[in-house]
Amino acid sequence: MRVASRRAEALASEFRAENEALIALVVGMDERGWTQDCPTEGRSVGVVVGHIAQGHLIIGAIVRAIAAGRPLPVQARRTVEQGAAVNARQARRLASLPPADALRMLHANTERMARFIGRLSDEDLARDAVGVDDLTLVDEIERGLIGHLRGHARAVRLAAIEGRASPPRTNAEGAGPARLDEVPDENTSARRERLVDDAHEAAREVGRRLIDALGEDLVALYLHGSAVLGGFRWERSDLDLLALSGSVLSDQQFERVVGALVPLRYPANGLEFTLMTADEASRPALSAPRFQLHLTTGGSNAVRKVVDGRPREGDRDLILHLAVCREYDEAIVGPPARSLLGALPNEAVESAMRDEIGWARQHGPPEYLVLTSARAWLFFASHRIASKIEAGVWAAAHDAEPAVIEAALARQRGTPVAIPTDAAKRFADRVEHLIRRPQAGTAGDHISLDR
């Protein structure tokens, strides 16, 4: 009686996981994403997915032949030219295959081969191919079957990054819903759109570098901060990104990620980047979510910092980062954020916002304190996370004495107006008092800075 090998079971699990990651990446693609070219392939995403699915059985026939001690099938003896001709014919057939059919085929062929691999013994894995030197069954599984999948899946990931555009924008002509931070100021609408597009392109370049550094261990990359909330300006903002890995980073991976990201071009205030494992993000510790790496590259108002989170207890700031990623769901790489990031209770977000107000009292300029407080008030009233400018507009409309809020808004938009420090602190005091008591504040409440 043959006993299944633990190594064979691990290979089967690895094969399934790689395929599941690919399916999660493409399952929600629209027609534009499915038909876009993979830059390193010369074929569309849909054709490459179909090629992978059919490749499981083509390479699978080689795997089965080695396991049975039979000569290798004809596909193992094709020349490069013959293989290219076969792939060209296959691409023409696959171009018209509906996405649902391609994904069903990929899933079915994955399961078929994974079940076969999982039943192999250690003796099977060590078997040599008939008539081929230096090729064992485990070599063909790792380098042939899984290697083929990984190579093409990487091309699909790169195509997905290239195809991610900034979210639909809104204007008066109906191009989409406008955000409250897009009130007229010294910047034109076209310039604001270009700057947000620049943020997305910078994020896509980070995604490309992370794929190079982590390979298939990169699970997802999400854009958050002002580039999705609103108020982003290249000349003064930072780029906020949250990445997920499939496992705890090794020291080599840690160094590769830092080395890959530091030299890139970022907005004036640099990059703020955090990497968590998928498990850390799916079940975040509400006291202080754990993380693997935190990197700030430095800029006009920031200093370069590299923090190894692996031996630490966590960072409470990640509560707000995770909340924004879940709510705005701006995936640069990987599946929708809500499928990977754990839900956070409103009380945890409110507590994190109170902490942010406390930090702003000690370290932030007056406009930061006022608008951070406004954002906390808006969340308390509506359970919605907004940009500082949108929250400031809302707060000014609901506060009995909005002068300090309006001054903070003007400063945030670049107008050099004075903000009395005492008035900023009194507004923060009133907001903190409001959001610490049982919820009585609603969107219709007005608060006054003076009792």
Predicted pLDDT of residue 177: 30
Q: Residue 307: how many CB atoms within 10 A of its CB?
A: 14
pTM of the shown model = 0.65
Would the pLDDT of 440 be above 80?
A: no
State the Cα–Cα distance between residues 56 and 187, nearest whole angstrom.
53
> Which tens digit of pLDDT belongs to each residue from 356-371?
999 999 988 999 999 9
Predicted pLDDT of residue 201: 87
Mean pLDDT of 39-60: 90
Predicted pLDDT of residue 4: 67
Mean pLDDT of 241-261: 95
Mean pLDDT of 265-293: 93
- Asked if 242 and 222 count as a contact pair (C-beta separation under 8 A), the reply is yes
> Which tens digit of pLDDT belongs to each residue from 275-288?
999 999 999 998 89
Would the pLDDT of 210 be above 70?
A: yes
Predicted pLDDT of residue 164: 53
Predicted pLDDT of residue 437: 52
Mean residue pLDDT across the chain: 84
- Asked if 106 and 53 count as a contact pair (C-beta separation under 8 A), the reply is yes
More confident site: 28 or 283: 283
Q: What domains appear along the chain, each with residue ranges and CATH number?
A: 6-163 (1.20.120.450), 185-339 (3.30.460.10), 350-436 (no CATH)
Mean pLDDT of 182-199: 47
Predicted pLDDT of residue 75: 81
Predicted pLDDT of residue 98: 92
Mean pLDDT of 253-279: 93
Instruction: Tell me the helix, strand and coil percentages in the chain, rounded to 5.
Output: 55, 10, 30
> Which tens digit of pLDDT belongs to each residue from 312-337?
889 999 999 999 999 888 888 888 88
Note the helical H segments in 296-365: 318-328, 346-363
Exposed (0-12), middle (13-18) or buried (19+): which is 184, by Cβ within 10 Å? exposed
> Which tens digit of pLDDT belongs to each residue from 89-126?
999 999 999 999 999 999 999 999 999 999 999 999 99
Predicted pLDDT of residue 411: 87
Predicted pLDDT of residue 319: 94
301 band by pLDDT with thresholds 50, 70 and 90: low
Closest CA to 391 of 382, 409, 378: 378
> Which tens digit of pLDDT belongs to each residue from 14-24?
899 888 888 88
Predicted pLDDT of residue 331: 87
Mean pLDDT of 140-166: 81
Mean pLDDT of 389-412: 89
Predicted pLDDT of residue 28: 74
DSSP state of 37: B
